[in-house]
Amino acid sequence: MFVLLSIFMTLPVLLLAGGHAPNADAFAESAAIVFTLGLVGMIATYRKPRDLKPRFMFVLTVSSWFIIALLSALPFYLSDHGISAADAFFEGTSGITTTGATVFSGLDAMDRDLLLWRSILQWIGGVGIIGMFVAVLPFLRVGGMRLFATESSEWTDKALPRMKTLSRGLLLVYVAFSVIAVVTYWLSGMTLFDAFNHGLTSIATGGFSTSDMSMGKFNDVILMEATLFMIIGSLPFFLFVRELHGQHGVLFRDQQVRLFLMILFLVPLLLTLYRWLVSPVPFDPVHNYAATLFNVTSVVTTTGYASEDYSAWGPLAFVLFFFLMFVGGCSGSTAGGMKIFRFQLSLIILREQLMRLLHPRAVLTRNYNGRSVSDEIISSMIAYTFIFLLCLLLITVALAAMQLDFITALSGALTSLTNVGPGLGDIIGPAGNFGPLPDGAKWVLSVGMLMGRLEILSVVIVLSPAFWRS
């Protein structure tokens, strides 16, 4: 992984070979450091047996994301802009976790090589997230993919060929959608540089942009294209692979996909009607629906783009966007959040409990997507929800202890754990950034982003004393 990361570190300079790469030395030094670490590791473990026990995989998964986030910050830290360690780590973590929160301002005039590195980081993070959710977390019995792709949760000799086929298919689909996004943006009027950056960050549902105005710099046609690509990035990629292998219709038969698309249809429609009713000025329903659909999709898919300051749309919009931060995309996608399936399972449990109150002797079945849902899955979901809310409380309290106001502390904690990007309020809202926050808050939020990306339980398990005693 380190060797691959070092190769990616050379891309910003190579892609700008005909242009200006003022931080070429920083990227060269960073690539050399990371490559050396990777080479030393490969030599040290040459021909040693690889035992894929869950204990080792937990440590590998958690440590690799934390260390790669740290190494990803090197080009920022070693550049000539005097970026602090806290800012560099925050930006690198936000990139590799596809969160999209940023400490930088003046993006329109920022060095192009650094802008490219931010986008490339999110693209790497997107494909890494898909691989982790489809192959690693099911093996560790963490996350929701055990409900959707049980064939990928085994690492036996029999399952490995299927996993290799699935991995190749996932990479092919991810690259294909990325290329389509870049070309579409370019043909719609973006410069090639802007199209390349936004194409990478749209499919990765990352949200990094090349402008302080984010997507507000572009027209409604591009906003609708971006909405489509964000939705694609938030759908289960393994279902795209199954569609390619002839299983036509599996994508839209999936329960989480149907609810996800329903939310993205109904919420923007209702919010547009609300804005129309309370608007004191002449209202353009077409333009405002496009803006509402775009910004709602950006928050629900945890992408983090913004076309305008949606926190200024009124109290209902402010509250609605706060709760939309919880939702997230589908399991097996690049999106963060709590994921659609957990809300659906909660409704199934609620219905089951109500039926038991009405019919105590009834024998009830618990099915989701045509499969039986075991008690283990339900227990895992309840444990995740509890630890999520507990972490939200602890991070909010920690930020408040650093003298941040309630809205900034709460929305900052939430946006880090759900990997949304911008928070709410005047400081970290869609019109601001995380730069003004104290360094301590940036370190806390960086850890929160990594925990959210790793489904929290993976980190908690590794940090528990029982994990190291047994």
pLDDT at residue 12 is higher than 90: yes
pTM for this prediction: 0.93
Residue 146 banded pLDDT, cuts 50, 70, 90: low
Which of these ranges, 23-27, 79-83, 139-143, has the smallest mean pLDDT? Answer: 139-143
- Mean per-residue pLDDT, 140-155: 52
pLDDT class of 166 with cuts at 50, 70, 90: confident
Contacts of 55-61 spanning 24+ positions with Cβ under 8 A: 55/467, 57/136, 57/139, 57/140, 58/140, 58/458, 58/461, 58/462, 58/467, 59/462, 61/132, 61/136, 61/137, 61/140, 61/454, 61/458
In the predicted model, is pLDDT for residue 161 greater than 60?
no
What's the pLDDT score for residue 147?
Answer: 59
Contact yes or no for 327/263 (Cβ under 8 A)? yes
What is the model's pLDDT at position 144? 57
pLDDT tens, position by position, 406-454: 999 999 999 999 999 999 999 999 989 999 999 999 999 999 999 999 9
pLDDT grade, residue 149 (50/70/90)? very low
Confidence check: pLDDT of 192 > 90: yes
Q: Which contiguous run of DSSP H or E holds residue 176?
A: helix 160-187
pLDDT in the model for residue 44: 87
Residue-averaged pLDDT of the chain: 89
- What is the predicted pLDDT for the residue at 302? 95
Higher pLDDT, 338 or 49: 338
- 3 state SS of 448: helix
Answer with the residue of higher pLDDT: 152 or 274.
Answer: 274
